[in-house]
A and B are shown apart, each in its own frame.
Chain A
Amino acid sequence: MSERVLKRTVCAAGLALLAVVSTPIAGARERTAVEILEAADAVRNPPGSFSVKTQLTEYRQGKQSANSTLTVFAKPNSGNGQYRNLIRFVAPARDTGKLMLRNGMDLWFYDPVNRASVRISPQQRLLGQASNGDVMTTRLARDYEASLAGRESVKDGEGAQRDTLRLKLVAQREDVAYARVDYWVDAVNDRPVMARYYTAEERLLKTAYFRKYQEAMGTLRPIETVIIDGLDSSWVTVMQTTGHTPREIPDEWLQRDYLPRFAAD
């Protein structure tokens, strides 16, 4: 075998090996930031309509300062895929039976004491430090434009080091709670790890850790979110979700004029 033939054979073998090695990489193309965000949304949100019990416990300097319990009923909107939410206040006693209904920019607050439905703005807070968006079920991929900002190793809410993808989210709608979000998603299983929420002026509003993953409606989901204020790190709200239950939510439940009749637990 001449030297030239030998060189050709080696080159051909090298190219073939390169082709074999590179073929799986080309087949499993890089996922887009939107796809990663959608996968993370699917971890946080069960599929279809469901209800979940949410407990909000607020702390100042480590001392509990407020506590409330809610039941959230969520149903995907057949039009844009975003969730419509109905929240029933369970505790404290002074708030029992109050309701909050949200369909995008359309928010209503109902007080059974005076049978009044009052329209409120998306910025109006009824839940303390937690924003409406923190408590209600939302698909971030519907409201934010996502881009991949890099791969980082971060400490999660339980102290473990995690390999994550950092997504940069920019709001596409004005009714969302935060203008911009940095969102860390586990690089292995798409589980949300933490998020930082900013104003349009790039001021840090709060940091959230998604933790205590447990089985809920078919997969592991974070049942606890620790929300830390951006200015005062001793101001903390812990949001716990339990009792995820798939349920039929009729469209009439999500009407303002149905609120005085709402009686589901």
Chain B
Amino acid sequence: MLWSSMLQRSSLRLHHALLLAAWGLSSHAAAQTAAPADAPAFDPLALQVQPAEAGTRIGLRMEAWAQGVDLRDGASASDDVLGRAVLDFRREWRLGESLRAGFSDRMEAVEGNGDAADRQRNALRELYLNWQATPSWYLDAGRINLRQGVALGYNPTDWLRENAVVMRSSQNPAALRENRLGAVMLRAQAVDARGSAQLALIPQLSDEDTSGSRFDDQFWSLGLERTNRHRAAFLRISPRTGERVVGDLTAFARAGDAPQLGSNLSYTASDSLILQMEWSGGRRAALPAAGQAQGGTGWFNRLAVGGSWTSPVGLVLTLEHHYAGDALNEADWNAWRAVQGSGARALGELRRGVTERQDLLVRHYWFGRAAWDRAFGVEPLELSAFVRRNAYDHSSMLQVEGTWHVSDRLDVSAMFNRMIGSDSSEFGASPVRSALAVYLRWFL
């Protein structure tokens, strides 16, 4: 309780401090355009630049977080003050003329003011060898994060996203992609002036029972049941096209499931507008309606379509519509919202599975994002925000983040999350109503 009230006071102070900082920055930016009348005349051509020091980088990033959480009334016991420490390492080495090795690992520890949220986890994200067999042929073997898709908020062609995220310090789709586990695979790629083609073969390396989306999340667990539970094959062909239209075709087959097809298309409509579409389709099982154990099987399409516009001041606005034909329609979702007792537990299981697979719960969503590097003309300030909105129950998840680049190697950030909606809505039902985090990042 003491911690909680301290945190609330601290959060309030921080909130006020952020407002003051924002006001100060805008004043600072305005002041920069008007030099004092008695200042000596500034001659830009008299500037003499010193050569930048060639700093070395070992590939290590350290993070320290302080996080306060506002829990929903009646939420199960959980901590409302959290500390988080992260060691994030990523590096490649050249082993010979045509051989390289890569290693990427994230060690994360969370401690709460109770015991409920305490968790430590090491995620071996990538460990691979890369061999350039000929000038245009490559072979890779090992654990590789193979990421696909042109959309920002939902990637139906990113086949290997399912179950790959082990820790969620941020709901930002970009952060989720950053923190996920790669899949163990053997991959061949041909790339030349005509474009690229790649084939990846993914072996089954775990026979753990993962029903109910339960995984082995012990500290040193490799998480192979998350990434290599089934044999699979992935194919991607991306021919070189014109300057404006860029596209690819992908296919994915996994043992026990029907093959899936997909495509990404992007189009530069003008010098400031990019339109993009990401589609996948195939036979699969739909999400079950309330009271059912399993949904019907059929051909379902998934789609993310939208565009990004760059404003004259550098603010980039993105709007996307997300669709999944296998997700719940409005009637089925309303039926799920009304269930009680064991049905509510089933809904919890359903939601957890959807979250782990990074799928959609209902068929239609809107996603908006704003990103502004050097916001208000202030060089060290970076602002971003995104919102994901359920088109049926109108609940939303909002995240706002601000980063101040203190130096070349240090960032200070503040992040605020808010779940908006009624208690029975998708996002309003989250046990965490809002969260405020302040964190430091060192780049070494």
Contact = CB atoms under 8 A, between A and B. Distances in A.
Judge: A and B partners, yes or no.
Answer: yes
B266 A119 contact: yes
Interface in A73-130: 91-94, 96, 103-107, 112-116, 118-126, 128
A202 interface: no
Nearest to B158: A116
A58 B130 contact: no
Interface in A224-258: 224, 226, 228, 231-236, 238, 240, 250-252, 255-258
Contacts of A218: none
A209 interface: yes
B44 A251 contact: no
A161 interface: no
Contact of A116 (B177, B308, B314, B373): B177
A100 B408 CA distance: 20
A59 B266 CA distance: 37
A174 interface: yes
Interface in A36-79: 55, 57-62, 65-67, 69
Contact of B271 (A58, A62, A175, A256): A175
A226 B189 contact: no
A126 B382 CA distance: 12
Given A94-B443, A257-B238, A55 B49 contact: yes
A170 to B, nearest CB: 15
B55 interface: yes
A252 B57 contact: no
Contact of A94 (B35, B90, B272, B409): B409
B394 interface: no
A133 to B, nearest CB: 11
What bracket does the count of chain B residues touching chain A fall in? 35 or more
Contacts of B268: 105-107, 119, 121-122, 175
B76 interface: no
A162 to B, nearest CB: 14
Contacts of B55: 91, 93
A6 to B, nearest CB: 63
B126 to A, nearest CB: 9
Interface in B250-305: 266, 268, 270-274, 276
A236 B45 CA distance: 9
Which residue, of A58, A175, A224, has the highest number of chain B Cβ atoms within 10 A?
A175
Nearest 6 Cβ contacts at the A-B interface: A257-B196, A251-B193, A92-B408, A93-B443, A105-B243, A114-B178
6 contacts: A62-B47, A94-B409, A106-B246, A113-B90, A115-B145, A236-B47
Given A119-B266, A255-B192, 4 more contacts: A93-B55, A118-B150, A118-B152, A174-B270
